[in-house]
């Protein structure tokens, strides 16, 4: 499977069914899972997520990576890009993107989901023992490079719960600008955006 990347300290490998146990190390970590729901996920859920991510790599050409330390081989985290589904939740982000046709364009493969073609979501999750070492920023930079240099995306968005100050700080370090908020599942999410070209001027809106 293509998509492997290297950074100064990390080896980034596409998530698929064969990496379910490594994905579990991240998503089952006590520093990670509380940000993704009210209960720790079951291993079977993570196995299914790994299979779905592998399917997205094959059909959509992108999804998340597992990040390994290059020196030790230890699992550091999970992060990278995914194509955003065409649905009411993600449709809220149209207000933060340029008013151009590509924002609503749909990817050619409607499996594993109907997704936007030209803009992507960037995210990261780092195990507790590797926090505050700059790894989330390193994963994020690799994701931005992959989005704009390899996939030729026109925009990248990143969302986090409003009170997740550490993730919002990473977004700022990556050069993503705060754009506003959406509500998903009853929770407020802060949205940050970067585009490949000139950023839209909404001062006259």
Report the distance separating Cα 25 and Cα 127, nearest Å.
8
CATH number, domain containing residue 128:
3.40.630.30
Query: Which domain covers residue 74, as residue numbers?
Result: 5-195
> What total number of domains does the chain contain?
1
Nearest Cα neighbor of 116 from 89, 141, 140, 137 is 89
Going from the C-alpha of 119 to that of each of 36, 102, 103, 155, the distances in angstroms are 22, 8, 7, 5
* Verdict on whether the full-model pTM lies above 0.85: yes
Express each pLDDT in 13-34 by its tens digit: 999 999 999 999 999 999 999 9
The DSSP line for 100-169 is SGGGG-B-S--SS--EEEEEEEEEEEE-GGGTTSSHHHHHHHHHHHIIIIIS--SEEEEEEETT-HHHHH
| 202 within domain boundaries | no
pLDDT exceeds 50 at position 38: yes
Mean pLDDT over each residue of the chain, to the nearest integer:
94
Residue 202 has pLDDT above 80, yes or no: no
């Amino acid at each position: 499977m293509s998509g492997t990347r290297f950074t100064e300290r990390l080896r980034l490998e596409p998530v698929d069914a064969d990496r379910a146990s490594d994905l579990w190390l991240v998503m089952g970590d006590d520093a990670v899972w509380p940000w993704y729901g009210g209960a720790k996920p079951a291993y079977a859920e993570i196995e299914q997520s790994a299979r779905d991510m592998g399917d997205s790599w094959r059909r959509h050409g992108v999804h998340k990576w597992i990040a390994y330390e290059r020196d030790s081989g230890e699992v550091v985290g999970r992060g990278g890009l995914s194509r955003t589904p065409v649905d009411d939740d993600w449709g809220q982000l149209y207000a933060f993107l340029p008013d151009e046709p590509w924002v609503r364009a749909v990817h050619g493969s409607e499996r594993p989901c109907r997704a936007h073609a030209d803009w992507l979501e960037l995210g990261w999750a780092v195990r507790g023992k590797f926090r505050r070492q700059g790894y989330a920023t390193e994963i994020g930079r690799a994701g931005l490079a992959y989005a704009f240099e390899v996939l030729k995306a026109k925009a990248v968005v990143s969302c986090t719960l409003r009170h997740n100050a550490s993730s919002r700080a990473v977004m700022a370090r990556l050069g993503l600008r705060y754009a506003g908020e959406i509500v998903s599942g009853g929770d407020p999410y802060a949205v940050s955006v970067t585009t490949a070209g000139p950023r839209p001027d909404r001062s006259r809106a």
